[in-house]
Amino acid sequence: MYLARKVQRRRLTDSNRVTWLVLDDNYLPVEPISRYLRYLENLERSPNTIHAYASHLKLFWEFLQNFHFDWLEVTLENLASFIHWLRIPADPRVTPREPVEAKRTEKTINAILAAVVGFYEFQLRLGTIKGIDVYRTCFQHNRKYKSFLHHLNRSNDVKTRLLKLKEPKTLTKTLNQSQIEQLIHACRHIRDKFLLCLLYESGMRIGEVLGLRHEDIHPNGKNQIHVQRRNDNINDTRAKSHRSRVIHISKELMTLYSNYLIEEYPLDVDSDYVFVNIWSGQVGSPMTYSAITSLFRQLEKKTGIDARPHLFRHTHATNLIRDGWDVAHVQKRLGHASVQTTINTYTHLTDEDLEEEYRLFLQRSPVKLNAT
């Protein structure tokens, strides 16, 4: 049995890419996990995804070690016990006398289970194991959106994972206009203001923003940003989607970009990255995820607003939906692979939305009630 001790970052010398390893007690890679992570690398999964999967599988290995399970002989019942252990890290065979608060949310547990199920599906393809029946087949009907060639597939049978917790429905968190303005005004530098304004106006992912090159920004009346996937970013960032896309931005945002280049961008630095270190770190090197984390912590101290880059993306998409954009247009602007992702994430209504729609309905209604 391989003993998992830690997750370690590693830079590949041949391509300068970053990957992750799970090490055992002798600080050697846990080979079954390493094979799977190499498979994910070959599929060009992002370093962040591989890091998450490595961490999740390390956690699974800890569970196997604690209860002396062999990873080659894991059963569906063992995986069910793993879910219990993730909620309450104790012996799943012992029922506590008093209620114990769950350590992890349903969403977190589902993410961990996805990594474990993916690992075993990979081992099944290799012929290492016989397989664990973690799926059930069900009939799917009344799909709102159908694929272009859906008529070629007459079967409506789909596979769903048995080991998946029901997640409580929550509204996607967004920022209001006042919060956005406070965060932007709290920025000391034009670079940081431009970064926040870009996140808000474009809805881009932070990995896409940090990977931007000057050649991706097209002024001269076009006011476009071309989002492209690159695998050679030295700051380990990457666009999530394999497809490039064009995002239109305002003239005001393009002016802010010009001001940033004129007033702050280092003149003696030969870099094609848009967002670079200027006042800390290696001057001229591209900003990293950790630099963004530090920036948002500083902004939280100044404003008291707990914001993250992805909140700007949620806010942008929600505002587009509220303004009546077609969901397919929102999907294309955000770079979602499936329109269903856009629907599931952003077609939500708050109480304020419902109140406003009802107010507009009353204004349009031809029948006016008289209470007297």
Catalytic member of 87, 205, 314, 316: 205
Dihedral sign, Cα of residue 345, residue 347, residue 351, residue 356: positive
Q: Which of 9, 143, 159, 310 is catalytic?
A: 310
The yes-or-no answer on residue 240 being catalytic is yes
Do strands 135-139 and 217-218 pair parallel, antiparallel, or not at all (unpaired)? unpaired
For residues 146 and 151, what is the distance between their CA atoms, to the nearest angstrom? 9
If we measure between CA atoms, which residue out of 99, 83, 91, 35 comes closest to residue 66?
A: 91
Q: Which of these, 136, 135, 132, lies nearest to 119 by C-alpha position? A: 132
Closest CA to 217 of 271, 272, 270, 262: 272
Alpha-helical runs (H) found in the chain: 31-42, 47-66, 76-87, 106-126, 177-185, 190-202, 206-210, 251-263, 289-303, 309-322, 327-334, 339-346, 351-364
Instruction: Identify whether 336 is a catalytic site residue.
Output: yes
Instruction: Please pick, among 313, 314, 316, 333, the residue that the annotation labels catalytic.
Output: 313
Asked if residues 223 and 202 have their Cβ atoms less than 8 Å apart, the reply is: no
Tell me which of 58, 87, 333, 336 is the catalytic residue: 336
d(CA 18, CA 240): 16
Pick the catalytic residue from 51, 104, 240, 302.
Answer: 240
3-class SS letters over 8-52: EEEECCCCCCEEEEEEECCCCECHHHHHHHHHHHHCCCCHHHHHH
Is 310 a known active-site residue? yes
What phi and psi, each to the nearest 5 degrees, are found at residue 177?
A: -60, -40
Active site residue 248: no
**Residue 51 · residue 37 · CB < 8 Å:** no
Active site residues per annotation: 205, 240, 310, 313, 336, 346
